[in-house]
Amino acid sequence: MTNIHPTAVIDPKAELDSEVTVGPFCVIGPEVKLSKGVKLHSHVVVDGITSIDEATEIFPFASIGTVPQDLKFGGERVELIIGKNNKIREHATMNPGTEGGGSITRVGDNGLFMIGTHVAHDCIIGNNVILANNATLAGHVELGDFAIVGGLSAVHQFVRIGEHAMIGGMSGVESDVIPYGSVTGERANLSGLNLIGLKRRGFAKSDIHAIRATYKFLFGEGEGVLKERISLIDDELKTVSAVKDILDFLTEETSRGFTTPATQGD
């Protein structure tokens, strides 16, 4: 394997494809598996029961797969599974799961995890996500496909963030965020829809209009609490798949409640 720098420390039990690249002073533990095209720049640590799929690239001083930051952790066999074609930048950290959370942290494909980002134990991360600089996810967070978490934001444990949602920079997210939603604030409130993201990703105008109508009905001025409004959504709107995504999300079980506009409670 000619792409392994001589200063790298690799346990002989680790499984490395012949086409991986490991830079200077990297450390790889005995139960690590690196697939074809994985590239570790210098000073990367990959430990634990960690698998990294094809073409994922990890930059200097990232710490991947070390024990979870959970005082209840007692050395159980837990995993970190990272998908294909991710970019994991400098000083990023990702931890494996815990026994109480299903024992697996899972990261999808095509993600960008910028400098200083953190993915805690038992998180489930979708595809094509972006965590901007120093964005942090606490334990058990679920992040849907194409979601973006802005820089210096923090997401509370057990929060679910729906697909295509946008978390503004420097936000503190304590409750679930609907798919396609946009939130911001020190204690984040729902501020509208991620319309720019929807247009960039080629959503049809008719679908965007349906999402906007649904949002206005659920969170605009009017009578009834959120649960009642969900049951009254127009049947025609329910035929739009994006609207169905929102309604399904709102009717799933949650321990955190939902992020709503500043002027309205659940």
Q: Active-site residue numbers?
A: 121-122, 139
CA-based nearest residue to 252, from 156, 147, 178, 187: 178
H/E stretch holding 243 reads: helix 241-251
Q: What are all long-range contacts of 233-239, with beta carbons under 8 Å and residues at least 24 apart?
A: 237/210, 237/213
Most distant CA pair in the chain: distance in Å? 68
SS3 of 161, please? strand
Count of alpha carbons within 13 Å of 198, Cβ hemisphere only?
Answer: 21
In contact, 144 and 127? CB cutoff 8 Å:
no
- CA 119 to CA 133: how far, in whole Å? 13
- CA 10 to CA 84: how far, in whole Å? 22
- CA 51 to CA 34: how far, in whole Å? 6
- CA 263 to CA 228: how far, in whole Å? 18
In contact, 18 and 2? CB cutoff 8 Å:
no
In contact, 74 and 143? CB cutoff 8 Å:
no
